[in-house]
Structure 1
Amino acid sequence: MEAGKKMSEKLTLIVGATTNPSRYAYFAASRLDNAGVPFIPIGIKSGEVFGEKILDLRTKPDLENIHTITLYIGAVNQAEWLDYLISLHPKRIIFNPGTENPLFFQRAKAAGIEAIHACTLVMLSSHQY
């Protein structure tokens, strides 16, 4: 496991991570970092955010102990990763605004994963994370 040092009940996988400071996935990494919530950024672009290397989603890395997956890729781009993300057995998946996907939502619920339509940034700001 590449993120072996990150063992927390709220370890969060940021799907669609980016180094672009104008993107919501970047804001989420910043807020998680500030809140002390460990995170693993994953996406198709390389780089580093807040000291964490962005893992290549295309390699479908073997990750463990993921508590939350927070999505920052739209439904059109989720199909290829759906089975992989469910196979990580997170406790919850947050479908941020613009990532809503009824099929993924239902598949997650059927797999026993809490699936919610919410905003990670609002959840962190309101201490509901």
Structure 2
Amino acid sequence: MINKQKNIVILGASNKPGRYSYMALQRLKSNGYTIIPVHPKYKEIDGIAVVSRLQDIKDEIDTLTLYINPTLLLPMIEDIIKLSPRRVIFNPGTESLEIKTRLKISGIECMEACTLVLLSTGQF
């Protein structure tokens, strides 16, 4: 059984209902996960406090799910490695062989998948 007390970071969280990152936030929340949304422009999304950058996260992280363009992600590789999540989910459109390789070398599990599909099929 999955321990839903684990922290899940949504990098590129959005407050727009039509965005997949918003849908993932809602699904994770409704499934009882502890969510840490990351976005530089928001203070909160639906009552959940948003952190502006990865460096502001002090909690242990189980999963980091990505919703930003790989070109924007490149400067954050070292921050992700320092955060040391158990796994990183590359949602469609966020895939990057360079980033994935660097994270794997650092011992971080990487998967190309859709968070919404993983939740829907019980594989999250």
Question: For residue 71 of structure 2, what is the aligned residue in structure 1?
Answer: 76
Q: Secondary structure at the match of 2:24?
A: helix
Question: For residue 119 of structure 1, what is the aligned residue in structure 2?
Answer: 114
Instruction: Give me the whole-angstrom Cα distance separating, in 1, the residues matched to 2:92 and 2:65.
Output: 11
For residue 50 of structure 2, the aligned residue among 23, 31, 54 is: 54
- Structure 1 residue 92, shift from structure 2 partner: 0.1
Q: Determine if the alignment matches structure 1 residue 26 to structure 2 residue 15.
A: no
Instruction: Give me the whole-angstrom Cα distance separating, in 2, the residues matched to 1:21 and 1:84.
Output: 28
Q: Secondary structure at the match of 2:38?
A: strand
- What letter corresponds to residue 75 of structure 2 in structure 1? E
- Structure 1 residue 126, shift from structure 2 partner: 0.5
Residue segments in structure 1 that go unaligned for 5+ positions in a row:
1-6
Instruction: Give me the whole-angstrom Cα distance separating, in 2, the residues matched to 1:102 and 1:44.
Output: 25
**Aligned partners of 1:67 and 1:90 also within 8 Å:** yes
Q: Which runs of 4+ in 1 moved over 6 A?
A: none
Q: TM-score, normalised by structure 1?
A: 0.88
Instruction: Give me the whole-angstrom Cα distance separating, in 2, the residues matched to 1:52 and 1:8.
Output: 16
- What letter corresponds to residue 103 of structure 2 in structure 1? A
For residue 87 of structure 1, the aligned residue among 67, 82, 107 is: 82
- Structure 1 residue 43, shift from structure 2 partner: 1.2
Deviations 1:71-93 (A, max 9, x none): 00011110121110111010000
Q: How large is the Cα RMSD of the aligned pairs?
A: 1.6
